[in-house]
Amino acid sequence: MSTEPARTGSASAEPAVSPTRIVEVRKNVLKENDRLARDLRARFHDAGVFVVSLVSSPGSGKTAFLEKTLTMMAKNSRVAALVGDLATDNDAARLARAQVPVKQITTGTLCHLEAAMVDRALADWNLRDLDFLFIENVGNLVCPSSYDLGEDLRLVLLSVTEGEDKPLKYPTIFHTADVAMITKMDLAEAVEFDGAAADSNIDRVRPGIKILRVSSKNGSGMEAWLEFLNAARSAQLGARTA
Amino acid sequence: MSIVELAEQEAEARGATIDAVYLQLGPLSGVVKEALLGSYEMACAGTVLEGSRLVIEDMPIVARCTKCQAEQTLPSMQSFLCPECGTPMTELVHGKELHVTALEIRDAEVKA
């Protein structure tokens, strides 16, 4: 390589390989999933359906909670659910007892739902026939946090049997959630659940997040949850028409 | 992969080839550095980026404290509390980046 400080005047031949230079770009990379999720969100908004996704570790009570939610809501609203699992349609069968449209998405070996799967599962549903759509993600506290499904609200569930420090162990899923739901409250006393510690840990990783408590078994906290949901949907519809 | 697409477009627009892609990556981007580096070569195969380097700049998590009126770097994503005064911080400044910031390009050979 030449070390001459500057090339002055002389008609030097072009180098065989031109030198490299840095150009600034500054562009946000939109992940393929984000692009699809953005389209889905627009479709949901057009159709006026409020979409809630549920994320949690396996066994925290998502399906029981969703079954209760669907059953109670079916009286006054048009609701439906998609449910993701690696295998079996057991959860869809359970949720179908609520007498609402339910579809199982089996992911095979994949540990989370992606926007494309939601898109495919919705192909033969008319979104305009729905007020609320629930999407139960695969039980996993890691990967679902990175995949936007176009939902309006992401609910993270934490059961009292899991340990109050779970939000600190899996901060990203809590950080990406909009509302936290503490489930199996009927067992809180038996497992000496420290509610204040759980609240404080959730708030540390996601300051200001709304925290609700529920027992799907005895129904406590369900009314408050449904009120919250209806208010959230009304607020959004109001914002859209304003 | 959108990083490849984006760089391809830039290369085409400038009539240049690309030696390296510079990327800012935040811990809250949802993208794992090792996985991205591992898949980069595969994603570039057969494109104008084949053989190029991916240079990743790790971004810190920085949030703004409303009480201190200052931006603070957070030591971990386990606590979104101001390291100075303990106030909960909701205003994220850095940490979610998945930004292509620059390209190292080589202009197409100029015929003398």
pLDDT digits over B47-68, tens only?
989 999 999 999 999 999 999 9
Token output for B27:
């811990």
Could you give the percent of chain A with pLDDT greater than 90? 81
pTM: 0.84
* pLDDT computed for residue A17 by the predictor: 65
**Interval A168-172 mean pLDDT:** 94
* Domain B2-107 CATH class label: alpha beta
ipTM comes to 0.74
How many residues are listed for chain A in this entry? 242
CA A67 from chain centre, in angstroms, equals 18
B30 with A19: Cβ contact below 8 A: no
B16-21 average pLDDT score: 93
Point out the residue among A24, A32, A172 whose CB comes nearest to the CB of B101. Answer: A24
Q: Any idea where the domains of chain B sit in the sequence?
A: 2-107
Q: Which residue of B has its CA nearest to A165?
A: B78
| Sheet of B70-74, strands arranged across | B70-74, B61-65, B91-94
Per-residue pLDDT, A7: 43
Mean pLDDT of all residues belonging to chain A: 91
Least confident of A17-26, A71-80, A121-130, A147-156: A17-26
Cα–Cα distance, A68 to A1 (Å, whole number): 74
Q: Does domain A32-235 have CATH number 1.10.3720.10?
A: no
Q: Is A211 exposed, middle or buried (0-12, 13-18, 19+ CB in 10 A)?
A: middle
Please provide the size of chain B in residues. Answer: 112
Q: Give the residue from B4, B24, B80, B104 with the most A CB atoms within 10 Å of its CB, the best one to mutate.
A: B80
- Could you give the C-alpha distances from B91 to A110, A172, A230, B59, B63, in angstroms and in order? 33, 16, 27, 16, 6
**pLDDT at residue B102 is higher than 70:** yes
Q: Which candidate, B110, B112, B72, places its Cα nearest to that of B91?
A: B72
| pLDDT > 60? residue B39 | yes
CB A44, CB A51: distance < 8 Å: yes
- Chain B hits for A172, Cβ within 8 Å: 28, 30, 77
